[in-house]
Each structure stands twice: as structure tokens, then as C-alpha cells.
Amino acid sequence: MALIVQKYGGTSVGSVERIQNVARKVKLFRDRGDDVVVVVSAMSGETNRLLDLARGVNPEHCARETDVLLATGEQVTIALLAMALKAIGCDARSYTGSQVHILTDSAHSKARILEIDQNKMRDDLAQGRVVVVAGFQGADEHGNITTLGRGGSDTTAVALAAALKADECQIYTDVDGVYTTDPRVVAEARRLDRITFEEMLEMASLGSKVLQIRSVEFAGKFNVPLRVLSSFEGKEGPGTLITYEEDGMEEALISGIAFNRDEAKLTIQGVPDQPGVAYRILGPIGEADIEVDMIVQNVGADGTTDFTFTVHRNDYEKALKLLRQTATDVGAREVAGDNKIVKISIVGVGMRSHAGIASTMFQALAKEGINIRMISTSEIKISVVVDEKYLELGVRALHTAFELDQAPATNA
């Protein structure tokens, strides 16, 4: 008998039929004798619909009220799933985040989980009930409802699994595992049997939204065995195990390709090159709570510097305005921006021990006539910024160049 935390995403609970399908799946585990805690998302499209309602009422973002509103999406699905479970003879109880005391900080829309009280869940499990918990939400110390950021139900599931010391955390979604890249973009993408935490963290933070970044961080920190699987009938399989071990891994140079469409870049040119210049440029951006991702600085022969950085596309206009002000303050020549760019990244622990990966990447893009606008690297990833129109072409070219559609040998 195992204790399993299962999470079902928006598409998996997107209709009454799908909720009934989830109930049948959960019952299979119960019938086998497992204890099951289920985390659900809102029905697909619901969180966006609620956000649109909020914008219609007040174009200004009301952080606290938005969280109260968004949390209702998951409240619907927990109740329906608990009812569907009871309908097939499986005792169940639904709980909102605050009802199971998922204590978070007060950062509305991106709250972090601080503590979870397991008592209620343990009592229910002891009485043979399935515990159904609303994903994506908690409450702060004052009882205010908070949400954990888009895709946050993954994090709820992993956090519950960590708190309950579950034997496995299973993330059921609309694909049957983690693929070499988004199968919606590359039809030849291949499911990975395993991927390391490190690689999954890079993939998630570079744009593969199959798992929310924080859920992977959490799983790594608390050593939660994590698996991504399909919730759909006929698609049952082993899914993808996220693992610490590098033994038994595919001996691929690259494990996957991630991309992010939400990028924008800004450049300030002809800045008098003095100590502190980077701080003067990025200081106001940081103070405005805008996250900067890639940074490139070039000093020209004339002693001035050109400074380029990327931000989330939603922050583009705000960052551009601030940069124009900075340009006036520091006497820079020009400010330019582009919000039609994307970032494509290749990820793999195999990169550590192999040379020539960057040149293969650049060659594959060059062959397709794709101009690289920025490059950044770390130990296990290389990212490039290219024009938005080349996203699909670039990802496909890299997928082929690194032979990701073919299963390599394993190093077991």
C-alpha cells in the first residue's frame, strides 16, 4: 500500500465526462489499497475566463481580490470530483487550500508555500477517504486567499507530497510525459523515460510549461519522486520519471529543447562607459520589479558601451519607458526595443562532458538562415534569442540536428 499524490490539470478536468474519468482512475488506486490525495486545477480556460471578468470590472489589477476570484476555479473542480468519486462508491472529501491550511506568504498571484498542516488529510486517509485538494491556492497568516502563479497546481501537488512524505507525486496531464520538446510544435518529439531534476528545472525555467518551475524546485529540495503521465484513457503508460540519478539515463548530448515566446529585448546604445553603468541602467528596472533575463554588454572603440537585455514581454512598455528616462539621465545616444523575439534553449547534462555542442546548434540555425540576436550559456544549457517568426523552424532544425527523434543508448 502506497501513499500517492496525484494532480490532474485543467484539460484533464475540462468537462464532467473528464472528471468522471479522473474519478475512475483514482478509484483504481484506491481499489489496489493505496491512499490517494488528489490535487486538481480549474477546468481548462476557466482561470483565463475569470481574469477577463476581473479586467472587465476594473482595468487596474486588484491583487487581493483577483486571488479571491481565481481560487473559485479550483473550488468547482474539487467539489465535482469528490461528488464523482462518491457516485462510484469511493468516499471522498474536498478541501480548498485554506481548509487544509496551506499557509503561504502574502505575495498575491505568486505566493510561496510556507507550511502545510497534514492533520485533516491524515484523518481522512485513515478513514479510507480520498482527499481532494484545490490546487494553486493557499492563505496567508491573516487568512487572505493567495494563489501560487499560473500552473501552480503542480506546486500544490509536490508540496503536499513533500509534507505527507508520499511515495510518489504523479502529475497527470494531456501529454503522456515530458518530451524532447513541446509535441505541439514538433510532431516527432519523443517521450523521455527519465529526465534529471536539473534538466527539468532548466526546461521549466526556459519555457517548457509542462511543469511549473517551483514544483520542480520543491521536488528537488524535498526529494519528492515525481512522474508526469497522461490522464487520458488509452494513453496509459509509464510517463516520465524526474530523477536525481544520472545512471540509466539516455546518453544523449541534449535531452530537450525549450522555448519561450514571452520575451522582449531592449538596447541602450552609446552609453559613456564608466564604473556603475550597468547599475544605472538596470537599477530602475529592478526597482520597478521587472525581472531581467539575458544581458549583453559591448564596449565600442569610441569608449561608449551598448547594453542589451531581455525582459518578459508584459513588462516591455514599462521597461522601455524607464530606459528612455535613463538614456536622458546618462547621456546615451539611443534606445531601441523589440518585442517580437523568442528564446530557444537546448538543455542536457551531456553538455558538461562534450565539446562542440554550441557550434552544432549555431550551424543548424545558420543553415536555415536564422539570425541569432543574443546568446547565453550555462553548464547544461545554451539559449539563443531569435526573431519570433523563426521559432518553429528553429526548434525543428535543432531537434533534427541533435537527433532527438531517435532514442539513443542508455548509460545503465
Q: Which does 136 bind (CB under 5 to 8 A by kind): ligand ADP, Mg ion, ligand ASP, none?
A: ligand ASP
| Cβ 294 vs Cβ 374: under 8 Å | yes
Q: Measured between alpha carbons, how far is 40 from 105 in angstroms, rounded to an integer?
A: 21
Confirm or reject binding of residue 218 to ligand ASP (CB under 6 A). no
Q: How far is the CB of 6 from ligand ADP (least distance, A)?
A: 12
Of 18 and 27, nearer to ligand ASP (C-beta) is 18
- Contact with ligand ASP (CB under 6 A) among 136, 197, 218, 390: 136
Residue 101 CA: distances (Å) to CA of 135, 141, 222, 304, 327: 13, 10, 19, 55, 48
CA distances from 240 to 28, 182, 377 (A): 20, 14, 26
Q: Which is nearer to ligand ASP, 151 or 350 (CB)?
A: 151
CA dist., res. 45 & res. 28, Å (int): 28
73 lies in the site for ligand ASP, by CB under 6 A: yes
Count of H-run helices and E-run strands, the chain: 11, 18
Residues 255-284 within binding reach of ligand ADP (CB under 6 A): 256
151 binds Mg ion (CB under 5 A): yes
Least distance to ligand ADP, CB of residue 41, Å: 6
Q: Is 40 helix (H, G, I), strand (E, B) or coil?
A: strand
Q: Given the complex with ligand ADP, which of 178 and 332 has the nearer CB atom? A: 178
Q: Is the dihedral of CA 318, 323, 326, 331 positive or negative?
A: negative
Q: Does position 318 bind ligand ASP by CB under 6 A?
A: no
Q: Which residue is nearest to ligand ADP (CB)?
A: 9
209 lies in the site for ligand ADP, by CB under 6 A: yes
Q: Which does 182 bind (CB under 5 to 8 A by kind): ligand ADP, ligand ASP, Mg ion, none?
A: ligand ADP
Contact between residue 397 and residue 368 where contact means Cβ atoms under 8 Å apart: yes
Q: Which residues between 321 and 340 bind Mg ion (CB under 5 A)? A: none
177 with 242: CB under 8 angstroms? Answer: no
b vs e for 394-410, b when ≥16 Cβ sit within 10 Å of the residue's Cβ? bbbbbbebbebeeebee
42 binds ligand ASP, rule: CB under 6 A? yes
Q: Where are the alpha helices (DSSP H) in 242-356?
A: 277-287, 316-330
- Please tell me whether residue 155 binds ligand ADP under the rule CB under 6 A: no
Q: Rule CB under 6 A: say whether 10 interacts with ligand ASP.
A: yes
Give me the least distance between CB of 78 and ligand ASP, in Å please.
Answer: 12
**Cα–Cα distance list, 65 to 62, 71, 72, 109, 116 (Å):** 6, 10, 11, 10, 23
Q: Give the interface size with ligand ASP as a residue count (CB under 6 A).
A: 12
Site string for Mg ion, 1-40 (x = CB under 5 A): --------x-------------------------------
13 belongs to the binding site for ligand ADP (CB under 6 A)? no
Cα separation, 218 vs 213, in Å, equals: 9
By CB under 6 A, residue 41 contacts ligand ADP:
yes
Q: Which of residues 63-92 bind Mg ion (CB under 5 A)?
A: none
Residue 173 near ligand ADP by CB under 6 A: yes
| Site residues for ligand ASP per CB under 6 A | 9-10, 41-42, 47, 73, 135-136, 150-153
